Structure 1
């Protein structure tokens, strides 16, 4: 049976604040563990008023302390903004406290231009992305034998376990790095659905080189899932998601994720309807039975080992319902 995992955005629901959102993420992680999900990852978003989590490592530490067995990870840490050495130290701290439970998902999304400038202010030269990945591997394996610009440097604390490393991506370059460096690969189907993704995943598998982290290629496919008890309930939730995506893609972002009631009341212009139609290709909308059928098709097309569900719907009650309905449906097979 294919494994199910979760990527949570920590959305700030209409009428709530960031404090509420982060504790709701904690509630969702605990519930996901009780339902038997394999992983619970959190995102990194900067300068997005309706999303609470800008520091995945800090939230990961909190979630690992709030749960017992479920793997906790980042989806992902945007590596070009940071020092690989510091990222390694952060993850080793987590491994020291929660051994064999931490996942490091890494990506290189540039984010908004002003965010990129602020996070990289004062840097005169950027380390190439693949070099940063190789640096992480050095620090996680205490490798001081191979030639390196910081050859004698060890990331502390030294611990006997290492996090799983996963490369997040939507195109060839990330998949190529993941294959060369022997890492797991996560394809963001929710961002770039289509046949190209399956070709990228195949290329990753075909060119994979075993490493100390992974002996065989492993692929996760990540999907937006809008699931309700009925098709109507799912469609109502999807309308709120449609509006949130519209806000995110516009210059006028409100500091919250809109409710179903707000979405119904507002409606959409003819131009917005066309954008929504395009965005609907990025999500699965319907009952759990329908969602499972679609997810299985997608997983088979990617030859994925796991499906990562993004239950980015309005309201913690609805998010919990999404992951419960899916867990029950997959358990019934």
Structure 2
């Protein structure tokens, strides 16, 4: 099974935010050396927990520091932007890293509505999203727009032998259905829903798929996992993400806290939320996490999984990826 990475440039309490960006680039270099297949970057805005606001810029930095690993967005929030401009950006990225660029797109704002309005005062309606995706695919691959379209005869440059691979991202049946209709690869955001709706979305994608950009269905899931030398150590490190998730559900946002500071007395509602999160979490010794990942991949019929790991200590985050690379015998581990 192939393993890939999704990194969100998490803000860490007591550390400057610019350090999180540099840690992302350093992690990409390490994951390439370990043998991971893809390294994807997310887009969020005005969220104190996540500081990766411009995946296309970070991708360029990663491209300059790597030579093999595929680099992608997970994803570009397309309603904020002109599909033509996104196509230009990603064709430039593909010129920097030929044949290694994944262009993952989604329709969520990646922010609150006020921030979304600042990003684009003419924010596109969700109803326009399918049309945006089709225009983006045409410009990314060098196809011409039909006569009568404002973009007829205009090409997104630079033009060269390779092109970015377009992916549809989603956490519901909508993205699965659109990906199936357009014949696109599909990635389900398992880490957002804690797996809820994942099997249904993948089943919908596979059953409704018709050949388009690709000839047969190609799906992955992006899930949260954290491995350490022992179960005890892993669950200690997990306290940081647990606190962040519980706080977010109650409207509190902030940088990731060290595990020692993340512990506090929960209300009854918060305690129930934390217990549910722990039951679903893929956390523990590397053997336990490996077995959970293999079981999930078998259940969902996957041959690739993208892992997102939150840890306050960048060394612990990196070590989790190292342990999993060894456990799955990735080339380079």
TM-score (normalizing by structure 2): 0.93
Counterpart for residue 237 of structure 2: 237
> 1:164: Cα distance to partner?
1.2
* Separation (CA, whole Å) in 2 of partners of 1:70 and 1:250: 38
> 1:145: Cα distance to partner?
6.3
* Separation (CA, whole Å) in 1 of partners of 2:16 and 2:107: 28
Contact 1:33–1:69 at 8 Å: present in 2 too? yes
* Separation (CA, whole Å) in 2 of partners of 1:149 and 1:130: 17
Counterpart for residue 52 of structure 2: 53
Counterpart for residue 262 of structure 1: 261
Pair 1:328 & 2:326 matched: yes
SS at match of 2:160: coil
Deviations, residues 264-307 of structure 1 (Å, cap 9, x unaligned): 4x343333211112333553111111111111122122212310
* Separation (CA, whole Å) in 2 of partners of 1:126 and 1:200: 19
SS at match of 2:217: coil
* Separation (CA, whole Å) in 2 of partners of 1:214 and 1:299: 22
Deviations, residues 13-38 of structure 1 (Å, cap 9, x unaligned): 22111211111111111110111000
* Separation (CA, whole Å) in 1 of partners of 2:126 and 2:291: 44
Counterpart for residue 8 of structure 1: 7
Unmatched tracts of structure 1, length 5 or more: none
Contact 1:193–1:281 at 8 Å: present in 2 too? no
* Separation (CA, whole Å) in 2 of partners of 1:321 and 1:144: 47
Change (3 A) 1:158 1:326: same
Contact 2:79–2:123 at 8 Å: present in 1 too? no
* Separation (CA, whole Å) in 1 of partners of 2:195 and 2:161: 41
Contact 2:27–2:318 at 8 Å: present in 1 too? yes
Contact 2:190–2:198 at 8 Å: present in 1 too? yes
* Separation (CA, whole Å) in 1 of partners of 2:317 and 2:81: 31
Counterpart for residue 159 of structure 1: 160
Change (3 A) 1:122 1:184: closer
* Separation (CA, whole Å) in 1 of partners of 2:87 and 2:35: 28
Pair 1:272 & 2:270 matched: yes
Q: Please give the residue correspondences for 1:34-183 in structure 2 after superposition, counting only pairs within 5 Å.
A: 34-110=33-109, 111-122=111-122, 128-144=128-144, 146-147=146-147, 148-183=149-184
Unmatched tracts of structure 2, length 5 or more: none
* Separation (CA, whole Å) in 2 of partners of 1:121 and 1:35: 43
Counterpart for residue 306 of structure 1: 304
Aligned residues: 328
* Separation (CA, whole Å) in 2 of partners of 1:282 and 1:153: 48
* Separation (CA, whole Å) in 1 of partners of 2:295 and 2:214: 26
Q: Please give the residue correspondences for 1:183-194 in structure 2 after superposition, counting only pairs within 5 Å.
A: 183-194=184-195
Give 4+ residue runs of structure 1 displaced > 6 Å after superposition.
124-127
Contact 2:107–2:126 at 8 Å: present in 1 too? no
